[in-house]
Amino acid sequence: MSDCFVYFALANMIATTTAYISIGSNQGKRLANLQNAILHFNMDGTEVIATSHVYENAAMGFDGADFLNACFCIRTDKSPTELLKHITATEAYFGRKRFTDGQYHSRTVDLDILYYGADCISTDTLTIPHPRMTQRNFVLKPLADIAPQFYHPLEQKDTRNLLQQCQDTSVLCKRKYRLFVSRVALFKQLQFLAIEGTIGAGKTTLAKMISKDFNAKLVLERFADNAFLPKFYEDPERYAFPLEMSFLADRYQQFTDDTSQFDLFKNFMVSDYDIFKSLIFAKVTLQNEEFGLYRKLFNFMYKEVKKPDIYVYLHQNTDRLLENIKKRGRDYEQNISRDYLEKINRGYLNFIKSHPQQTSLLIDLGNLDFVSNPADYRSILEKIGAALMDVLN
């Protein structure tokens, strides 16, 4: 028997347990809180395998905003104690504040282990099955969506019977919201994601990472040799108009070609630019009369292009932009001025403010390093996921 075969056999002998967890939120973006917290459970040795419908009910035991509640099922090799530690860390990550006054309070995320297999556990820190689950229809109703015939190991009744006998008479409203078991499943709901940013912000890098991780068609701005670009950086006033017109023509042709051809083997499209950037740059570089003429042509083209489901703008401070530009070493970019970058930044921000009908997401990168730090990358994905939940619901 080969060593590889033995390793494979042992790997498949790792014991896993099915556990059921309730989740609620009545602070902040409640639905996004539920979704992102659920996705937090897809980690080494743990996989989310089912989610319930979402229900809304009034806060119980205290005055507070209405809760959204749901349940989800995981398969895990973590012990109950390890799972509880992960729950506590997840609640803290999403901003839950714990109080010591013995009273109920509003929560960004509230997580409880309902069942861990058929185990019965009673310690100072953990009781399974959850001791109050049979008294709460906002727990039993979503649990019945995913585990209607699961038997309570102490009550010896399944979830449906427990729900029928529950004396909780509080009003529970089923909502049409959807929750997803993985970020891949969530991002599959996208058609087109556009990532934008000023020169050196990292938009191409982020687009490539998302394309790789989520099987998305990658649409990159292609820079053909442009004779006007080096000249523009040397003499902006003279070469601004021919430069912007040539960029507009190239972008329009590229963008329409790339976004009109959907790849059946990809989940969605992600681009490192949106054609509206042409107008933003032109506003900065052109004189008023030139810009008026340019805008007439642009408006005609813009009506015909595909609009993104979510428009992500990566905002970075000017010092970091100049540092990034220096690092990538393109000769013709080294003379870009601070004032020019700041004007482009303001142009993007004005665009976002002037298009309230568009789902726009401004991400302040600050000191984030999403290339080297997985936690920073995950935080960006969480923000995109939250925006997508708004689009879907």
Query: Does residue 234 share a domain with residue 92?
Result: no
Write out the DSSP string of 103-164. Answer: -----S-EEEEEEETT--EE-SS-EES-TTGGG-HHHHHHHHHH-TTPBPTTT--BHHHHHH
The position carrying tokens 């990472």 is 209
The set of residues, in sequence order, having a beta carbon less than 8 Å from that of 62 and lying 6+ positions away, is 103, 104, 105, 106
What's 71's domain CATH number?
Answer: 3.30.70.560
User: What is the extent of the structural domain holding 21?
Assistant: 3-181
d(CA 355, CA 279): 14
d(CA 349, CA 3): 58
Residue 129 preceded by cis peptide, ω within 30: yes
Domain closes at, from 146, 181, 216: 181
pLDDT, one tens digit per residue, over 294-343 is 999 999 999 989 999 999 999 988 888 888 777 776 666 676 778 888 88
d(CA 72, CA 22): 7
d(CA 149, CA 154): 15
Other C-beta atoms lying within 10 Å of the C-beta of residue 182:
15
The set of residues, in sequence order, having a beta carbon less than 8 Å from that of 289 and lying 6+ positions away, is none
Query: Does residue 274 share a domain with residue 328?
Result: yes
Query: Does residue 312 share a domain with residue 196?
Result: yes
* 215 Cα distance to chain centroid: 15
pLDDT, one tens digit per residue, over 149-175 is 999 999 999 999 999 999 999 999 999
What's 254's domain CATH number?
Answer: 3.40.50.300
Given a cut of 50, is residue 8 above it in pLDDT?
Answer: no
Which pTM value belongs to this model?
0.87
Query: Does residue 235 share a domain with residue 158?
Result: no
Catalytic: which of 110, 112, 272, 274?
Answer: 272
Query: Does residue 241 share a domain with residue 124?
Result: no
Q: What is the mean pLDDT of residues 254-281?
A: 90
Query: Does residue 211 share a domain with residue 96?
Result: no
Compute the Cα dihedral for 110, 116, 118, 123 and give only its sign.
negative
Query: Does residue 269 share a domain with residue 374?
Result: yes
Domain closes at, from 151, 181, 211: 181
Token pair for residue 182?
């993985």
Query: Does residue 287 share a domain with residue 157?
Result: no
Token pair for residue 50?
């089912």
Domain closes at, from 181, 210, 227: 181
d(CA 10, CA 278): 57
**Which of 99-113, 220-234, 317-331 shows the highest mean pLDDT?**
99-113
**Which of 12-26, 94-108, 331-345 shows the highest mean pLDDT?**
12-26
**Which of 145-159, 239-253, 352-366 shows the highest mean pLDDT?**
145-159
How many structural domains are present in the chain?
A: 2
- The residue type at 189: Q
Query: Does residue 204 share a domain with residue 153?
Result: no
Query: Does residue 272 share a domain with residue 258?
Result: yes
Query: Does residue 43 share a domain with residue 172?
Result: yes
Determine the pLDDT at residue 53.
98
To the query of whether residue 272 is one of the catalytic residues in this protein, the response is yes
Query: Does residue 206 share a domain with residue 158?
Result: no
- Of 111-115, 181-185, 200-204, 337-341, minimum mean pLDDT range: 337-341
